[in-house]
């Protein structure tokens, strides 16, 4: 057996393991994007001459991050039950 295959956290033959890793990555990335979106939105609203671009980007990133985090948590919960 190849030592790299044994140490790999993801086995290509097991679907559950791949879904578990995908759910963790999606949850972490979603939470990060959510935080960045809140920050950009806060910067956009705190500027004296408020720019619509920063507010729009901030709200978009916040919404995408929230949805990605929820999907990741749901996937993780489904793989944990299996």
pTM: 0.73
Concatenating the DSSP letter of every residue in 20-40 gives HHHHHHHHHHHHHHHHHHHHH
CB 26 within 8 A of CB 71: yes
Segment 23-46, tens digit of pLDDT: 999 999 999 999 999 999 998 888
CB 46 within 8 Å of CB 58:
no
For 46-80, what is each residue's pLDDT tens digit? 877 766 888 899 999 999 999 999 999 999 888 77
């Amino acid at each position: 057996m190849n030592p790299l295959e044994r140490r790999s956290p993801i086995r290509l033959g097991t679907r559950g393991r791949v879904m578990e890793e995908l759910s963790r990555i999606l949850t972490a990335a979603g939470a990060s994007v959510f935080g960045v979106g809140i920050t950009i939105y806060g910067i956009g609203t705190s500027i004296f001459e408020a720019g619509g671009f920063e507010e729009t980007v901030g709200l978009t990133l916040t919404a995408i991050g929230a949805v990605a985090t929820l999907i990741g948590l749901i996937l993780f919960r489904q793989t944990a039950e299996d």
